[in-house]
Structure 1
């Protein structure tokens, strides 16, 4: 009883932030995305997609098609006032659009369905920053794979200018032939080379890469057998979906073989993609722009492999892509450092039976610019478990990592966090949406609930288990969809339509102290020579010497205490 009273008092003391604006959304708006410059908001809905101007919330362009529903949308800036959009519809078809001069142009359909019996369904689709690359995972007749595309951005920009100049007032592209994208790589789940199939004694002495991939294949076969034995009614599609992959684009970072050829390219151009398959222990690394005579017939081999002791459950990449965090089975978190090619730390987050569900980087750096010029003094990771518990993991070079419990497992399942998202423009803050529709801004480093985001009394957050939202980094604004509360009477159809709720964090005194997080100092971590990489490592070791000495002394004192206790127990045993 006392605990519940404390919870009520705490909730009352926590300040609330009301919405700063509202706008009516198109019917069945399923997804939102913002442009990096904060000028435009793209919406995916039934019958197509729309682009709105953020400043006026006016619809600038539509691309509509009957019996089509967009379920995913992403937006990135391809050039000044030219934006690339990637979408997936409810039939699993991926498309690439361009928004330019208040017009939306369909540039490419990724998976055209020529044969309904052999159609490939797009499960995930992602554009890289500035739209140079795209990656999509597919499923077709029991097979799954990942395709990485290279987009002809320069050619598309020229063709867009031509299309606008020839047909300035036409909503559709007339007689425009867009340049074709190219498949950079087609990545399939790992398999044992045919020459070594069934030769266990050869695999034991094979190279490290083949050995690790063989272990994954054996684990995969075991899991498939379990699926069939436990539930013979499971469809092939359900089982295959459980074997899908997660990928991340990687920017130039280190002196790995092959990256030296692309270090002179623009900083936003990805040089590699890392991939892990569900059920796998290994993180695979593939370089982009590799010269092969016939890419379509050559299955790419990982350039690097990062093995892990347990199965990978979730992953995240830091903003600068130097660090890759993996949430592993049995409550382990491993953070890999691409600069050194080795684990930065392996931490036991929780010893409970609750599996890790999501993992995020808290891209936070100290205020001191002197420290920021060399390296981040600490790497912070947020880990969400299926039970609803949330932990922060703090990792410092040369010292022991530690975890802090930020959120305990709620007693009521409606209080479980259904979504956690870093608010990159607010220092240390995460947006947490619970199943009951409550929205919270939480300082995960200092373990503090900053405020609640309150919708209007007549509206509820739509689909709180999977909210439709977008964070505008430039305008420091949250856009989120709200639906009419069925308990409140709606006088007309207009009153029952979904609304776009707007929370402008710049107007709040509560949040003002968290605004102004500097850009990542790690963006400039590309080094041309191995000597520069070694110099940075030595600098980091030198700056952390005091902390390491303190940790060594604490460990030595614990060992001495343990030795005294062990000696006392031994003496008592001899006496008895």
Structure 2
């Protein structure tokens, strides 16, 4: 295992400057929403039956649709079906799309039976390239819980569950070979004697990651007995010990049925592909390929980083070991990486946020939110909000519906600012709050009651309300089916016909769902917000390092800038340790007296 970086305790100390929340914010937001003008619907067209998911290609040319009969690819300019792949009694529930080459696209899907597939759209035809989790034995049926394609189609990550066990498979795609095979098939289909039945090149598993386990016979005796080489075992043992204590507490406070559900629940994982941080290589194509994947498991405190180097041929079944360990004092609730993957942000229990800098291998900051009971449900980077090269902007969405902005950076105080408060009416609870990449400091908000609007989170004003036609409502507002087209600055969202209007409709087809299209670039008010995000994640890197010496110098400079902040954190940590030790001593004294 590679040498581990600093084993600081992110989340163990509060830090940063916190502003008080604006108690009148909710009333102001409601007033602004009522006064905001509506953005007119640009177009609407009928969707296939039971359209469950939408996705857009990076170049904005195509829209992918997953529905109850398979999947379809539409042209976004004409809104006509370019190709489809249909199969009876198969329902696509998850869909992703990425460009493999010019006019060639990969699609990753999951159906309602938990089967993941990889398709290619090429020359107006959809080809099934591979089934990720083929069911060979019905007694060992595997289910794909999540499937993510990496930008460019070289890698994909699949979370697989089978008979209570769960693991992460990172697949390497033979993209160049597939392109050649697709070109060959396209040329052969022009021949009258072509029979089809193409055998595509198979996938290869780059790495298979299982939840960390403690070696048999290992006992957690305390930090004083741990050697440097045993850090991974020690922190894994901490996770196992914490989970076992939480399960015991839950089992004690619940009835038998709930206890059965708790003990039988499946652990899931969240992963992020990581690009090279230091640009030592002059080959740009190599800098745009992932070199590692970071993973954390539900209920754990540790973020683990694994290299994507292939396993040795003579030891194909060797379980990979993490190269880097990022320990946390609190349980991880959510995570995000910046587009350039240099920064990793973790939303922790007890309303804490930890940001790591992969390039220096050190912690950038620890932020304590203003309300300790604020449970963070989602965290994301607002990369297109950058006003300086040494600032990092984060957006936090809480379970209560409140949204906060965090600004941090090396050698500067952290700043948190509430953008929206948690609504008092459950109908106003936002179910979708996402940053719009092509609109500066603008959020797309969909509420539980079906209301949808664009909000300027800097000035805390509603820019435009997005209202469907009177005959339709936003479909499943608790989990809306939508896609943002960055190139065409367009929102595609599914709308279902209102039941009251359906009863008076004479045409049965009017009861089907429609694709509602809002073109933001056609609105004069929104033109002032439009920005051009970088096409490549590596375009966000503003510094290039040609030697290891320059990288070390940068690290030392950053450490010097943050010395005051680290000294305050250290003093606070010692204070908390003394208070904890005093409480433990009091409990021990009371127990001895009894």
Q: Classify the TM-score, shorter chain.
A: 0.7 to 0.9
Aligned to 2:322: 302
2:443 to 430, 437, 442: 430
Are 2:438 and 1:417 aligned?
no
Are 2:411 and 1:398 aligned?
yes
Aligned to 2:74: 52
2:484 to 462, 471, 485: 471
Is there any run of 5+ residues in structure 1 with no aligned partner, and where? 556-576
Q: Is the CA contact 1:163–1:173 (under 8 Å) kept in the aligned structure 2?
A: no
Which piece of structure 1 moves more, 275-284 or 517-526? 517-526
Aligned to 2:394: 381
Q: How many residues in Structure 1 have an aligned counterpart in Structure 2?
A: 535
Kindly tell me: are residues 199 and 248 of structure 1, through their superposed partners in 2, closer, same or farther at Cα, counting changes over 3 Å?
A: closer
Aligned to 2:212: 190
2:241 to 203, 218, 229: 218
Deviation digits for residues 62-117 of structure 1 (CA, Å, limit 9, x no counterpart): 10111100000000000111100000000000000000000000000001112222
Aligned to 2:146: 124
Task: Tell me the SS of whatever aligns to 1:487.
Answer: helix
Q: Displacement, 1:184?
A: 1.0
Q: Displacement, 1:360?
A: 1.1
Structure 1: distance between partners of 2:345 and 2:313:
35
Q: Displacement, 1:235?
A: 8.8
Kindly tell me: are residues 357 and 96 of structure 1, through their superposed partners in 2, closer, same or farther at Cα, counting changes over 3 Å?
A: same
Q: Is the CA contact 1:251–1:272 (under 8 Å) kept in the aligned structure 2?
A: yes
Q: How is 1:84-233 mapped onto 2 (pairs within 5 angstroms)? A: 84-168=106-190, 174-194=196-216, 196-198=217-219, 200=221, 204-206=225-227, 207-229=230-252, 230-233=254-257
| Aligned alpha-carbon RMSD (Å) | 2.9
Structure 2: distance between partners of 1:116 and 1:226:
36
Task: Tell me the SS of whatever aligns to 1:43.
Answer: strand
Q: How is 1:17-36 mapped onto 2 (pairs within 5 angstroms)? A: 17-36=39-58
Q: Is the CA contact 1:253–1:526 (under 8 Å) kept in the aligned structure 2?
A: no
1:337 to 354, 357, 363: 357
Structure 2: distance between partners of 1:14 and 1:443:
12
Q: Displacement, 1:22?
A: 1.0
Deviation digits for residues 396-445 of structure 1 (CA, Å, limit 9, x no counterpart): 32121011111111111111111122211111222111111111212233
TM-score when scaled to structure 1?
0.86
Which piece of structure 1 moves more, 397-406 or 212-221? 212-221
Q: Is the CA contact 1:18–1:454 (under 8 Å) kept in the aligned structure 2?
A: yes
Q: Is the CA contact 2:385–2:393 (under 8 Å) kept in the aligned structure 1?
A: no
Deviation digits for residues 495-534 of structure 1 (CA, Å, limit 9, x no counterpart): 1110101111110112111112452653355634222324
Q: Is the CA contact 1:330–1:353 (under 8 Å) kept in the aligned structure 2?
A: yes
1:531 to 523, 542, 549: 549
TM-score when scaled to structure 2?
0.84
1:484 to 494, 497, 511: 497
Structure 2: distance between partners of 1:20 and 1:313:
38
Deviation digits for residues 37-81 of structure 1 (CA, Å, limit 9, x no counterpart): 111101000010000011101101110111100000000000111
Structure 2: distance between partners of 1:3 and 1:53:
42
1:245 to 269, 272, 282: 269
Aligned to 2:333: 313
Kindly tell me: are residues 105 and 226 of structure 1, through their superposed partners in 2, closer, same or farther at Cα, counting changes over 3 Å?
A: farther
Structure 1: distance between partners of 2:274 and 2:292:
5
Q: Displacement, 1:177?
A: 0.8
Structure 1: distance between partners of 2:265 and 2:544:
37
Structure 1: distance between partners of 2:555 and 2:465:
42
Structure 2: distance between partners of 1:526 and 1:152:
30
Structure 2: distance between partners of 1:294 and 1:428:
52
Structure 1: distance between partners of 2:466 and 2:426:
20
Q: Displacement, 1:346?
A: 0.5
Q: Displacement, 1:16?
A: 2.1
Kindly tell me: are residues 492 and 243 of structure 1, through their superposed partners in 2, closer, same or farther at Cα, counting changes over 3 Å?
A: same
Are 2:522 and 1:507 aligned?
yes
Is there any run of 5+ residues in structure 2 with no aligned partner, and where? 1-23, 569-594
2:38 to 16, 39, 51: 16
Task: Tell me the SS of whatever aligns to 1:532.
Answer: helix
Q: Is the CA contact 2:491–2:519 (under 8 Å) kept in the aligned structure 1?
A: yes
Kindly tell me: are residues 169 and 86 of structure 1, through their superposed partners in 2, closer, same or farther at Cα, counting changes over 3 Å?
A: farther
Which piece of structure 1 moves more, 90-99 or 451-460? 451-460
Q: Is the CA contact 1:82–1:99 (under 8 Å) kept in the aligned structure 2?
A: yes
